[in-house]
Amino acid sequence: MENKLTLWFMQFLIVGVSLNLKAQIVSAEPKFPCYFVFGDSLVDNGNNNNLNTTAKVNYLPYGIDFPQGPTGRFTNGRNIADLIGELLGFENYIPPFANSRNQDVFTGVNYGSGAAGILDESGYKTGAVISLNKQLSNHRVVISRIATLLGGEKVAKEYLSKCLYTVAIGNNDYLNNYYLPQYYSSSSLYTPEQFAALLIRQYSKQLRKLYEYGARKVAVFALGQLGCCPAEVALYGSNGSSCVESINNAAKIFNDKLKPLVDHLNYLLADANFIYTNTATDSYGNITVLSGSCCALSDIGQCLPDAVTCNNRDEYMFWDGFHPTEAGHLLSAKKAYSEMSPLFTNLVDVE
Ligand SMILES: *[C@@H]1O[C@H](CO)[C@@H](O)[C@H](O)[C@H]1NC(C)=O
Ligand SMILES: *[C@@H]1O[C@H](CO)[C@@H](O)[C@H](O)[C@H]1NC(C)=O
Ligand SMILES: *[C@@H]1O[C@H](CO)[C@@H](O)[C@H](O)[C@H]1NC(C)=O
């Protein structure tokens, strides 16, 4: 009896301690010590500013609703990586690789680059681009910095295993490759099915490399409804519907292969926790304008410099020809945050 009581009391103590710890972590600390961002213009926060490319937007009206004004973010305010960082409890935005300093690297780095794709050649028509392969090389540079600061590769790997990684890429392999047949031959070489398979083979290698670099908690984003971008509707015509269905179908073929890839990586790689993250939502909050962009567009689908914008930016899904408004990004960020929540649960293991 005495033993049982003692046991019960000890259990009570342990539960008490772990609850306490949980409360502390929720209120004071971000859910992860560090957050690394890979991807394209949906997450780019300034990496393209000094590149020789047309895919850069460090001018108004981009950033019109961002405290620092234009920064290279492809939207009016915060992008999905900023918003996910906020939801996770990070105090500052994750800095772009292009101007990250030594001490920044501990909370993470954003490698995102407008026009970047899974394939190195995607987006080349816009000029210089930091493809996913190059983003991984840049990550290698950051890992070396972390290893130097922490005193070795092994400690660095241990640290990197605790970080969150999001990878949002593949849009430009369609928009800035397959669906620009005047510049790229992929659509004459491959059916959508074959092209998706080719992308997935390459992506599999890249995600494994990220794992080799120490990543364990990785949210892999599905493609959105690319055929609904105003620029694609303008280019291809929507045939009575509000989106280009052939493009949406191609994106769906990719997503249908991405999900099993993610399952396979989890099966194959010890301690890997990859999550297939679909950011699409069926309710749009305050957004009422689902097609059409909020600013006047250039011939490459970006807002013209100093273009007048719509007044009710919170009611528009699309900012320019390709990118969501901050309000659109917020819908995706909240959905992504809930989809990646399984990655949060094993943080406070007090066993
Ligand atoms: C930038 O790219 C354009 C187009 O590819 C090229 O004509 C130009 O020489 C490049 N400028 C610099 C400074 O490299
Ligand atoms: C438009 O719709 C018609 C009838 O459904 C179809 O035959 C045609 O291929 C469509 N065109 C495009 C460009 O989607
Ligand atoms: C929607 O609009 C209402 C009224 O302006 C506002 O209070 C609310 O925060 C908005 N919701 C979102 C998700 O922006």
One digit per residue, the tens of pLDDT, for the chain of length 351 reads 444 433 333 343 343 344 444 444 444 689 999 999 999 999 999 999 999 999 999 999 999 999 999 999 999 999 999 999 999 999 999 999 999 888 789 999 999 999 999 999 999 999 999 999 999 999 999 999 999 999 999 999 999 999 999 999 999 999 999 999 999 999 999 999 999 999 999 999 999 999 999 999 999 999 999 999 999 999 999 888 899 999 999 999 999 999 999 999 999 999 999 999 999 998 999 999 999 999 999 999 999 999 999 999 999 999 999 999 999 999 999 999 999 999 997 544 443
Q: From the CB of 281, is ligand 3 less than 6 Å away?
A: no
Output the residue whose Cα is nearest ligand 3's atom 9.
286
Task: Establish whether residue 249 lines the binding site of ligand 2, counting it when its CB lies within 6 angstroms of any ligand atom.
Answer: no
pLDDT of residue 294: 98
Give the pLDDT score at 343: 95
Q: From the candidates 131, 323, 329, 332, which is the catalytic residue?
A: 323
Residue 323 is among the residues annotated as catalytic for this protein: yes
* Ligand nearest to the Cα of 243, by number: 2
Quickly list DSSP for 305-342: TT--B-S-GGGEEESSSS-B-HHHHHHHHHHHHHHTGG
Closest-CA residue to 112 (of 145, 79, 159, 65):
79
- Annotation marks residue 264 as catalytic: no
Which ligand is the nearest neighbour of the Cα of 126?
1
Does 54 sit in the ligand 1 pocket, CB within 6 Å?
A: no
Q: Are 317 and 324 in contact (CB under 8 A)?
A: yes
Positive or negative: CA dihedral 236, 241, 243, 244 = negative
Ligand nearest to the CA of 241: 2
Task: From 228, 239, 242, 243, give the residue whose CB has the most ligand 2 atoms within 8 Å, as the site to mutate.
Answer: 239
For residue 306, the one-letter residue type is: D
Active site residue 204: no
What residues contact residue 171 under an 8 Å CB cut-off, 6+ apart?
40, 41, 42, 117, 223, 224, 226
Cis peptide before 96 (omega within 30 of 0): no
Ligand 3 pocket test target in 83, 281, 286 with most atoms within 8 Å of CB: 286
- The predicted pLDDT at position 26 comes to 46
Q: Are 108 and 43 in contact (CB under 8 A)?
A: no
Q: Is the CB of 288 under 6 A from ligand 3?
A: no
Residue 248 alpha carbon to ligand 2 centre in Å: 14
Distance CA 210, CA 274 (A): 11
Residue having the nearest C-alpha atom to atom 10 of ligand 1: 52
